[in-house]
Amino acid sequence: MTKKVVLATKNSHKIEEILAILGDIPGIEWLTYREIHFSDVEEVGETLEENAILKATAVARETGLPALAEDTGLEVEALGGAPGVRSARFAGAGKDYRANNEKLLRLLEGVRNRRARFRTVAVLALPDGRTWKAEGVLEGEIAGAPRGEHGFGYDPLFIPEGVGRTLAEMSPEEKNKISHRRRALELMRPILRDLATDPRSSW
Ligand code: ITT
């Protein structure tokens, strides 16, 4: 019997990437907001960890099914780790990717230290309150101007270490091989496999 797991995000770019990375686990049927209703969760946490736990536990409780959430932030060294947990609303509410990128470039005008990293914290929550957490990091630097058409968010400005191209200049397959999201979600794979094969688990 397959086990249903809810993807606790309404960001369609994330859904596409998560399913490309974990969609092949035998015995797991992924449900998105298109197949099952769940309420929006306010991201009031002070850290990526807190927000990922908030999202996963709220959706697991509401749907009565295991739920996987992740929170991702871009941490720029010269900005003391900003935008970090505020990456989605850096230039104000509304998740406008272009405005966020423009603000980032403005703040880094004339700044030599372009070091940055993407950090993803993924959380799997069961309806009984149990949680598992995993983290993935991608080191790199911020480009001088946006480049590339793929991906989303800050991808046109982020050059992974040793790659020489922005994430938006890489194909989805190339990004998914090395990304922060990949690294966090790969650590979740054995836990999801156990969930899929555990005959004692009713979920
Ligand atoms: P959910 O909370 O519903 O999962 P969200 O878009 O609000 O979706 P986050 O709170 O994790 O997601 O926001 C992180 C922001 O960081 C997101 O809006 C993008 O601007 C950016 N971001 C996240 N992952 C990224 C990636 O792989 N590449 C580029 N930018 C990314």
What are the pLDDT digits (tens) for 125-174?
999 999 999 999 999 999 999 999 999 999 999 999 999 999 999 999 99
Report how far residue 131's alpha carbon sits from residue 127's, in angstroms, rounded to the nearest whole number.
9
Is 101 within a domain?
yes
Is 203 within a domain?
no
Measured by CA distance, the residue closest to atom 4 of ligand 1 is: 9
Q: What is the mean pLDDT of residues 9-35?
A: 97
Q: Is the pLDDT of residue 104 over 80?
A: yes
Number of domains in the chain: 1
- Whether omega for the bond prior to residue 83 falls within 30 degrees of 0, making it cis, is yes
Is 83 within a domain?
yes
Is 124 within a domain?
yes
The answer to whether 71 is a known catalytic residue is yes
- Contacts of 155 by beta carbon, 8 Å cutoff, 6+ apart: 148, 166, 167, 168, 175
What pLDDT band is residue 94 in, cutting at 50, 70 and 90? confident
Is 37 within a domain?
yes
In this structure, what are the phi and psi dihedrals at residue 94, rounded to the nearest 5 degrees? 115, -5
Radius of gyration of the chain (CA): 17
Cβ(120) – ligand 1 distance below 6 Å? no
Residue that the structure tokens 């947990």 belong to: 85
Atom of ligand 1 nearest to the CA of 71: 11
Instruction: Give the pLDDT confidence of 43-52 residue by residue, as tens digits.
Output: 999 999 999 9
CATH number at residue 17: 3.90.950.10
Q: What is the mean pLDDT of the chain?
A: 96
Is 171 within a domain?
yes
Is 202 within a domain?
no
pLDDT attached to residue 51: 98
Domain around 181: 3-197
